[in-house]
Amino acid sequence: MIHPSSIISPLAEIDSTVDIGPFCVVEAGTRIESGCRLVAHVCVRSGTSLGRDSTVYEGAVLGGLPQISNSNTAPGGVVIGERNVLREHITVHRAMHAASSTTLGDDCMLMVGSHVAHDCQVGNHVILANGAMLGGHVEVGDRVCLGGNTAVHQFCRIGQLVMVGASTKVSQDIPPFVLVDGATALIVGLNRVGLRRAGFSGQEILDLKSAYRLIYRHGLSFQETLDALVERFPTGVTAEFAEFFRSGKRGFVQERRSPPRVALRVHPAVDGWNEEDSSPVIRRMAG
């Protein structure tokens, strides 16, 4: 069903089961597969492919031109997978060059106001919370969750099953399977809840814990860490650490270490201070 107020190009490929609400615009050179729903005021621009059973909410723009200073290049496309939920006012931009595409996998949720820039490669089951932003050429692995207002610098990579706290500035690569604290933008451990929900076995989680300790607690140089990972964890999920570190170009987010315990020093009373004249609270503190 197509609402009569919507403007649909006759050159768009739209399955007969697609539901298009009021005031939508679908340009030529687009493809919308079966079971999709455009709620209202959605713009699907040329070069965009939307996989089946996806829902796009009010004000979303799919396939906008890349935000680059050199706008003379012929842009690429946007390929969006199946069963995605794209909430209000999200934006997904086309790749810079005709031979490339910005891609979004299956079963993702892009919450209100989130942004996927040109040439990003986003995996499956990814969640971008409200206002999360990906710069150009960012790579995001499967089952990543980015907290609200997180900003990821262009060309950064985020490994699978990473969870990033709200309002984080990500300017370096984040290795897989870890938690990143929003206040410090540093790693605070493994994403154990995410690992269990993804079906990782107890032994796999123990192996990841051993690899994590090797990386962050043994005090090895980068090359020593890489060699040790290859030697001790040549196969299985833990092998992803070495592969990820080997291909890095921007550096890697570091671990947040707890500060040493600080003793509270109590100084003697200042000369001339009369305890009897002080308040009961101060007297208790002094006692």
Instruction: From 155, 183, 202, give the residue that closes a domain.
Output: 155
Q: What is the mean pLDDT of residues 100-115?
A: 98
- The DSSP secondary structure of 210-222, one letter per residue, reads HHHHHHHHS---H
Looking at the predicted structure, is the pLDDT value of residue 285 above 70?
no
Assigned domain for 183 exists: no
Instruction: From 137, 155, 173, give the residue that closes a domain.
Output: 155
CATH of residue 207's domain is 1.20.1180.10
Alpha-carbon separation of residue 170 from 156, 164, 166, 185, 280 (angstroms): 8, 9, 11, 7, 49
On whether the CB atoms of residues 191 and 171 are closer than 8 A, the answer is: no
Looking at the predicted structure, is the pLDDT value of residue 274 above 90?
no
Q: 21, 113, 115, 119: which is the annotated catalytic residue?
A: 119
Q: What is the mean pLDDT of residues 191-211?
A: 96
136 included as an active-site residue: yes
Name the residue range of residue 250's domain.
192-287
Assigned domain for 234 exists: yes
Q: 93, 118, 125, 137: which is the annotated catalytic residue?
A: 118
Tokens of residue 46, six digits: 């040329």
Q: 51, 105, 136, 148: which is the annotated catalytic residue?
A: 136
pLDDT band at 259 (very low <50, low <70, confident <90, very high): low
pTM for the model: 0.88
Question: What does the pLDDT look like over 164-197, one tens digit per residue?
Answer: 999 999 999 999 999 999 999 999 999 999 999 9
Burial 63-91 (b: 16+ CB within 10 A, else e): bbebeeeeeeeebbbbbbbbbbebbbbbb
Amino acid at 91: T
Residue 73 has what pLDDT? 74
**Total number of domains in the chain:** 2
Residue 281 has what pLDDT? 41
Assigned domain for 171 exists: no
Residue 69 has what pLDDT? 86
pLDDT band at 270 (very low <50, low <70, confident <90, very high): very low
227 included as an active-site residue: no
Assigned domain for 223 exists: yes
CATH of residue 103's domain is 2.160.10.10
Assigned domain for 2 exists: no
Other beta carbons within 10 angstroms of residue 178's beta carbon come to: 25
Question: What does the pLDDT look like over 56-93, one tens digit per residue?
Answer: 999 999 999 999 987 767 899 999 999 999 999 999 99
47 included as an active-site residue: no
On whether the CB atoms of residues 80 and 63 are closer than 8 A, the answer is: no
